[in-house]
């Protein structure tokens, strides 16, 4: 199938497909018609695009996915290595989840503080104390 059909089937933009090809994540066949070279994709490319999307949802960057793919294709992705990659990614996802949990807690507290008429101490969040001071001094000046 040509790129337009592939984009539709894989639910990707042409720019995304071109990037995937550039990074070596997709390797379409090429055929020439006249002076034009057309890329031809098949069902395995559609499946590979879906796998790339899963990797991105797991938090891997395209560059990481490409590197892992090269390692896999070179035969260097044994069970021990796969386990190490998944454990490292889980640690990153857990750290991000903790960070998001802190943000969520702060936002709940800030919303409650605003709804209560901004009475009492304003909730602060890590490095936001400086921002709070700046905004507070600007509000007092106005």
- Looking at the fold, whether 101 and 50 belong to one and the same domain comes out as no
Last residue of a domain, one of 30, 59, 88: 59
Structure confidence at residue 131 (pLDDT) = 57
Q: Is the model more confident about 104 or about 32?
A: 104
Question: Each residue of 25-60: pLDDT tens digit?
Answer: 999 988 765 556 788 999 999 999 999 999 999 999
- Looking at the fold, whether 86 and 121 belong to one and the same domain comes out as yes
Mean pLDDT of 114-138: 74
Mean pLDDT of 14-19: 95
In DSSP notation, the chain reads --HHHHHHHHT--HHHHHHHHHTTS---EEEEETTEEEEE--HHHHHHHHHHHHHHHTT--HHHHHHHHHHHHTT---HHHHHHHHHHHHHHHHHHHHHHHHHHHHHHHHHHHHHTTS-SSPP--TTHHHHHHHHHHHHHH-
Contacts of 67 (CB under 8 A, 6+ apart): none
Domain span holding position 49: 1-59
Residue 85 falls within a domain, yes or no?
yes
Domain count of the chain? 2
Residue 65 falls within a domain, yes or no?
no
CATH number at residue 49: 1.10.1660.10
Structure confidence at residue 128 (pLDDT) = 58
């Amino acid at each position: 199938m040509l790129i337009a059909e592939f984009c539709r089937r894989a639910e990707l933009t042409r720019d995304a497909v071109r990037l995937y090809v550039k990074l070596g994540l997709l390797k379409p066949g090429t055929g020439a018609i006249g002076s034009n070279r057309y890329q031809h994709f098949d069902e395995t490319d559609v499946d590979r695009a879906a796998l790339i999307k899963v990797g991105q949802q797991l938090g891997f960057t395209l560059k990481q996915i490409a590197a892992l793919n090269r390692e896999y294709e070179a035969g260097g992705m044994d069970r021990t290595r796969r386990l190490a990659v998944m454990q490292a990614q889980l640690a990153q996802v857990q750290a991000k989840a903790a960070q998001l949990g802190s943000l969520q807690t702060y936002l709940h507290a800030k919303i409650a503080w605003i709804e209560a008429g901004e009475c009492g101490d304003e909730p602060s969040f890590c490095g936001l104390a400086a921002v709070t001071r700046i905004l507070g001094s600007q509000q007092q000046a106005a």
